[in-house]
A and B are shown apart, each in its own frame.
Chain A
Amino acid sequence: MERRIKGMNRRQFLQTSGLTAAGTAFAAPLLTAADRAWAIELSGALDQHTADTLLKMVRRLYPHSTLSDIYYGYVVEDLDRAAKSDEQVAKLLKDGVKKLDRALQIDFLDLSDGYQLKVLEGMSDSAFFEKVRSTTIVSLYNQELVWRHFGYEGASYPYGGYINRGFDDLAWLPEPPAEASPPKQS
């Protein structure tokens, strides 16, 4: 939860401050949308090429065509944070990206979608792959705006639960009889 809020604040800061990649005072690598609608600045533990390649990799791992890159960018932000707090992780990620680039003697980012997939399949048993995958499966799917994409509403207690908000609103199947599913008690 803390991570999500921090990410949001940082993005809002970059949006509202009018800073762009060119004008920012940060020297650290930055993940940005093509139209500069958003930006995530990183710590510097990972270089720009590593960060860009990881961004592409995490999208290949869990490809949701209707999810914008920013949500994958927050995964890279988590990887960057892990790299900053642990040199071993930084090395694992940087070396892993080098292997992605070397697999077919062409930078991973320059490969076609199909070749990128092939390279990832070939590395799926590596510690690098598992670090990125296991981070992504938690980080990508633990973002509130991503939940909206999947139709998940998140916390319900602040809204009184679903007792009066559709816990039983499915109408395309027959209603179970009261003996199987009694009416709610008022």
Chain B
Amino acid sequence: MAKIGYKDDSAVVIIGSGAGGGTLANELCQKGIKVVVLEAGKRHTIDDFTNDEWAAFGQLSWLDKRTTSGNWRVAKDFPNLPAWICKTVGGTTVHWAGASLRLQAHELQARSTYGEIDGANLLDWPLTLEELEPYYAKAEDKMGVTRTNGIPGLPGNNNFKVMYAGATRLGYKEVHTGRMAINSRPRDGRNACMQLGFCFQGCKSGAKWSTLYTEIPKAEATGQLDLRPQSHVLRIEHDDSGKASGVVYVDKDGNQQRQAARVVAVAGNSIETPRLLLNSASSAFPDGLANSSGQVGRNYMRHMTGSVYGVFDKPVNAYRGTTMAGIVQDEAHNDPARGFVGGYEMETLFLGTPFMAAFLDPGAWGAEFAGDMDAYDHMAGMWLVGEDMPREGNRITLHDSETDQYGMPIPNVHFDDHPNDIAMRSHAYRQGSAVYEAAGATKTIETPPYPSTHNLGTCRQSAKPADGVCNKFGQSHDVANLFISDGSQFTTGGAENPTLTIVSLAIRQADYIAEEMGRKAI
């Protein structure tokens, strides 16, 4: 591993080590570029992971206090936990389920396709699917996505069998075990899936792609990476010419450090990334770094989500095997005749008893809830995930009085469901229930959204600097050597789980950074 001096201003400093930051780091190191990665969390190994939901939650989650506002139900159920994401080397790739889907062409042209929608701040991406496709192909190969590159699909578990039976009886055609970055057979030095049922707790099979044990060690092997876990970034500094010049952080021993930088790439997820830019305000950038558009922190998206559980007479034991074991894609297209724009995916999902109790109907108590829990091993479950509308008022702001353990203002996450989100969720609940009824369910349960794992849009790409924060390479419009490298750069969310797109954008961004550094433009 490289040791890069604090005053050495020749390296790319990346904040965050998840899907965006971890991938970008490895791609740059492979090109011979020096990289410092500052990661707020600790470095764990696969051996550290535990098959225990609450223990793993405490081990891996970002639990620093956040506040919430708005009419979304998460603000009521989990007022200080708007997002279920990680604070660890590897970021949320340690926790994610592995679904790896490409955006659809029309989703990158949301404004043109859906037209003007009241209360939505829709915009086309400055990027087409055609431009992204070569990078999607690289990402799928890197991550070992099933049903690509000749990699077989995963075998379906019990939960998938119920989904498949119901969905096909309902007439759905695109029903299978998904495109998953989980090895169905050993590949790239990683094992095959053991069907543990603990994807969210850190994959002890090592079968699921995570930057923690793929990109990060590969980057270290080049000798170009200086990874600094437990480094909590406070602000990004700039020089008199308005270029990013260094990053101030608190290190693992609690000491404040300043790392000089040639380029700064922010990949702290869609809550921490805008928080950091807003907290980096200066006299030259009074509204926050790279925020001349006023869009930093705005257009926060978290996907239309919800879950449906079906209760059956016979046992399902759906907790066994991959958490996200199958998908129905027939509702993923755009068909405004359904009463909403955009589409959604139906993906199996199941939780252990501890988390089922916590998330099935947050706040519920009494005989009916207990009766539902009594049916735990007779249940099948699916997660509904679809495109939500970007709204200017849905935003991350700095709290005006509360600060974290380092004295940095905590973030507030404001979210109001758009009527389109509610129409889509209602449709998805009905269709999800119909799937389980077709498979013989005696009861179906509509479960509200969990804290967000898909946090998107708060530093979005735009063709015009006035409409967003960065260009189609994630380069900020205002500061040439400052990049957005995570899901914050999504202009719109699409229906698909975002990780594959984040990884693809990071690979593409690495090519661009290397070129721009090569020609001394940054």
Contacts and interface: CB of A to CB of B under 8 A. Distances in A.
Interface string A146-186: 11001111111110111101111110111110011111110
A22 interface: no
A170 B484 CA distance: 46
Given A1-B52, A140-B357, A150-B377, A161 B195 contact: yes
A138 B354 contact: yes
Contact of B184 (A151, A166, A182): A182
Interface in B357-397: 357-358, 363, 365-367, 369-370, 373-374, 376-377
Interface string A120-163: 00001000000001000110111000110011111111101111
A162 B196 contact: yes
Contacts of B314: 170, 172
A117 B50 CA distance: 38
A163 B162 contact: no
B200 to A, nearest CB: 13
A161 B191 CA distance: 13
Interface in B166-212: 175-177, 184-185, 192-198, 204-205
B136 interface: no
Sort chain B's interface into a size bin: 35 or more
Interface stretch (A6-14, A28-36, A61-69, A103-111): A61-69
A61 B153 CA distance: 43
A156 B357 contact: no
Contacts of A185: 152, 184-185, 192
B459 interface: no
Interface in B240-298: none
A142 B54 CA distance: 8
Interface in B134-179: 152-158, 160-162, 164-165, 175-177
B44 interface: no
A175 B155 contact: no
A152 B377 contact: yes
A150 B195 contact: no
Nearest to B186: A185
A170 B161 contact: yes
Given A141-B354, A166-B317, A169-B317, A157 B196 contact: yes
A150 B165 contact: no
B298 to A, nearest CB: 33
- Overall SS of chain A's interface: loop
B321 interface: yes
Interface residues of A, number: 46
A161 B205 contact: yes
Given A1-B55, A170-B161, A160 B373 contact: no
B320 interface: yes
Interface centre among B153, B319, B439 (most CB of A within 10 A): B319
A141 B373 contact: yes
Contacts of B153: 181-182
B376 A181 contact: no
B420 to A, nearest CB: 31
B177 A152 contact: no
Contacts, number: 159
Nearest to B314: A172
Contacts of B352: 147, 152, 154
Interface string B310-340: 0000111101110000100000000000000
A124 to B, nearest CB: 8
B257 to A, nearest CB: 35
Nearest to B160: A181
A169 B314 CA distance: 12
A86 B443 CA distance: 42
B353 interface: yes
Contact of B51 (A151, A157, A163): A157
Contact of A154 (B51, B154, B184, B204): B51
Contacts of B366: 61, 63, 117
Interface in A84-122: 117
Contact of B176 (A172, A173, A174, A179): A179
Contacts of A117: 366
B164 A137 contact: no
29 contacts: A61-B366, A63-B366, A124-B365, A137-B365, A138-B54, A141-B357, A141-B358, A147-B353, A151-B315, A155-B51, A155-B52, A161-B193, A161-B195, A161-B196, A162-B157, A162-B197, A168-B155, A169-B317, A170-B162, A173-B165, A173-B439, A174-B165, A176-B164, A181-B156, A181-B161, A181-B164, A181-B176, A184-B184, A185-B152
Interface of B: 50-55, 152-158, 160-162, 164-165, 175-177, 184-185, 192-198, 204-205, 314-317, 319-321, 326, 352-354, 356-358, 363, 365-367, 369-370, 373-374, 376-377, 439
